[in-house]
Amino acid sequence: MFLFLSKLLDLLLAPLSWGLLLLATGGLVRRGRARLATGLQVLGGLTLYLFSTEPVANLLQRWVEADAVSTYQEGRTYDAVIVLGGMVDADASERSGLPEYTPAVERVLRGFELLRSGRAGAVLLSGGTLDTRPGALVEADILGRQLELWGIAPERIVRETRSRNTRENALESERLIRERGWTRLLLVTSAAHLPRARGTFEAVGLHPDTLAVDVRAHGFYPHTGWWQPRASNLSAGSDALRELFGRFVYRLRGWA
């Protein structure tokens, strides 16, 4: 039920949904309430425009990444690096027959670098699937095969394939970590996701060092495309809002 509600909230928290809802409501009330209808439609148009501009998207991204603190110690050798899922495009992978990734692929790239350099003895890949079909692709399995192709020995790769969200990432990882007796841990995930992930792992008794990757926010500087509306900005702002709301829900439920 929680997973279903979280997906519904994803829809409701998107500025695209707000703008379309305002535009549609304005159209429905136009007869007999012309001024109200016009106001709603103007507000809907402004919502879509503002959230699709780079300054607004970047402001939201900076907000969501503000508390992403990396405590990674370069001189330390970790028992394991925990790489959280969320970087595999399962639908595209199924269609192409090859691993297809989202921009969050930096998570597994950093994990690979730590393994290759000897800074981590093993990797724990945490990521299952929401797809209930038999034979559905599982993210941790895809990432494990990718690391093996890059030359990482199979015995250094531990797959956690049951989790479907950050809370389950932490619960399932804690079980595997306890079984193996690992104590020196490094948690790797996107900068926007790191504060919630760190708090969730701490809530189950794990206190890993952290490494923020996939940083998306940048400095503010005017340029020719600064105020041009783009779908990519609308998507980035929506992701930031969903993450901020996710933190609120996790704290409310005592998960972080």
pLDDT digits (tens, 9 = 90+) for 79-127: 999 999 999 999 999 999 999 999 999 999 999 999 999 999 999 999 9
Residue 126 and residue 163 in contact, taking contact as beta carbons nearer than 8 Å: yes
Q: What is the pLDDT of residues 43-69, one digit of tens each?
A: 999 999 999 999 999 999 999 999 999
Structure tokens at 217: 């926010």
CA distances, 141 to each of 53, 158, 211 (Å): 37, 10, 22
Q: pLDDT tens across 134-151, in order? A: 888 999 999 999 999 999
Report helix, strand or coil for 247.
helix
List Cα–Cα distances, 92 to 23, 89, 106, in angstroms: 32, 6, 18
* Secondary structure class of 25 (helix, strand, coil): helix
Alpha-helix runs per DSSP H in the chain? 2-12, 15-28, 34-51, 54-65, 90-96, 106-117, 139-149, 166-180, 194-203, 231-252
- 160-203 residue pLDDT tens: 999 999 999 999 999 999 999 999 999 999 999 999 999 999 99
Domains and CATH numbers, the chain: 2-66+234-252 (no CATH), 78-213 (3.40.50.620)
| Structure-token pair, residue 31 | 């007869």
Q: How much is the pTM?
A: 0.91
Alpha-carbon distance of 249 to 203, in angstroms, equals: 14
